[in-house]
Amino acid sequence: MRVSSKQYLVVSLALAGVCLLGAVASAKSVAYPGGGHTSFMVDVPDHWTITPGKEAGDYMDLESGNGVLMEMRTLDATHEALQEAIADSEKFINENYEGVELNPVQNSEMNGLKYSFVTGTGKDKEGNAVKLAMGWFKLKDGTLGEIWYAADASDAEGIQEAGKVFSTYRAP
């Protein structure tokens, strides 16, 4: 299966819009997946809700008090796993948002990790404008870290907090 530039764009979406830099005030460090092995860590505002996955590969859900949803997980660092993740992300976006417009894929490095990301906009089922972002980090343990978020476009504070969470994404 060949990945189109649009699909790759969708896949990389979580990281750019999330790329607002800055430290998270009153935050806690969260390790993924937890237990005896950590693939990556992020700092999450104290007032956000964290729902950990049961095992590596499951999504860890983060939610702000105003409805920003971030999800993170790891996946195998294979071309096939990345293609499947891109297809899953595109399917999810198409099922949940309308009028999605994505910016070009960008590649960068942060906290010693290389990553690709893309940002975009769309509308939820109720017609509200949303900001979308997603992307992948090449992690030091040989896995890929996937991250994405969706936020109401009018929630500037939530979008900024998501960006701060993203800016703390790091290897242990």
In a domain, 163, yes or no: yes
pLDDT digits (tens, 9 = 90+) for 109-127: 999 999 988 899 999 999 9
pTM of the model: 0.78
In a domain, 23, yes or no: yes
H or E, element range at 80: helix 79-96
Q: How far is CA 129 from the centre of its chain?
A: 18
In a domain, 73, yes or no: yes
In a domain, 54, yes or no: yes
In a domain, 37, yes or no: yes
The domain total for the chain is 1
In a domain, 172, yes or no: no
Q: What's the token pair of residue 72?
A: 């993170």
Comparing C-alpha atoms, which of 70, 35, 34 is closest to residue 50? 70
Out of 6-10, 24-28, 64-68, 143-147, the most confident range is 143-147
Q: Hey, what amino acid is at 101? A: E
Look up the domain containing 146 and give its range: 5-167
User: Residue 33 maps to which CATH number?
Assistant: 3.40.1000.10
Residue found under tokens 């095992």: 55
C-alpha span between 137 and 134 (Å, rounded) = 10
- Per-residue pLDDT band for 14 (boundaries 50, 70, 90) equals very low
